[in-house]
Amino acid sequence: MPKVTAEYREARRDEIIDAALRAFSAKGLSGTSMADVIAESGLSAGAIYGHFAGKRELFAAVAVRTLQSRRLEVDAQQAGGHVLTPGEVVATVLRGMRDSFDTRLLVQLWADAAADPTILDSIGAPLGFVLDAFGASVRPWFEAHPECTDGDTDAAIARLVPIMLALGQGFMIQRQIFAEFDDEAYLASVREILPH
């Protein structure tokens, strides 16, 4: 039997994550079963479970990959010394999430996590990634504006990142429940209210 390479395993994992994202987008997080993901992927149950223990782990992988893509967008915009303000970081991430991911899934996940501690435990890694990514993304701005740090850049970042996350959550929730929600007006306001 031929040996499976790391590249092959990674490609198969990506294929499963793609299928899971399609299934979650079609049926929502709660409405999607592992059988749906298996059917969407066209792979065997063994192939899926060889990479992921279950639906929550699979959704966490979908979330992390999506968030990594947003982080790469921010990094690309900051390449060459261009420093984004905290509001521009949030706007970049939210536009990317809106345009590439069904944000209803995140709203559903947050609601489920609030009611079920096991779900909250399973999304710890993606939440940690978000907090770390926001912190790393605004660090260049704070380093360029030491007057906004009270002498402690890490503390200034630690105070701001939960606010950035809350603004992101507010964006995703409000665009689902308010018919007249204006994405661009919200994002413009985010850029104005955060340090700039």
- pLDDT tens digits, 69-83: 888 888 888 888 889
Q: Are residues 41 and 58 in the same domain?
A: no
Q: Which of 12, 27, 52 is the last residue of a domain?
A: 52
In Å, what is the CA distance from 138 to each residue of 56, 154, 159, 172? 30, 11, 12, 21
Q: Are residues 59 and 124 in the same domain?
A: yes
Q: Are residues 24 and 107 in the same domain?
A: no
114: pLDDT strictly greater than 90: no
* pLDDT bracket for residue 2 (50, 70, 90): low
Structural domain boundaries, residue 26? 1-52
1: pLDDT strictly greater than 60: no
Q: Are residues 48 and 64 in the same domain?
A: no
Most confident range (mean pLDDT) of 39-43, 51-55, 74-78 is 39-43
Q: What is the CATH number of the domain that holds 7?
A: 1.10.10.60
Collect all residues with Cβ–Cβ distance below 8 Å to 114 and sequence separation of at least 6: 120
pTM: 0.80
In Å, what is the CA distance from 141 to each residue of 15, 22, 71, 155, 195? 36, 36, 15, 14, 9
Average pLDDT over residues 92-105: 84
pLDDT digits (tens, 9 = 90+) for 142-186: 999 999 998 999 999 999 999 999 999 999 999 999 999 999 999
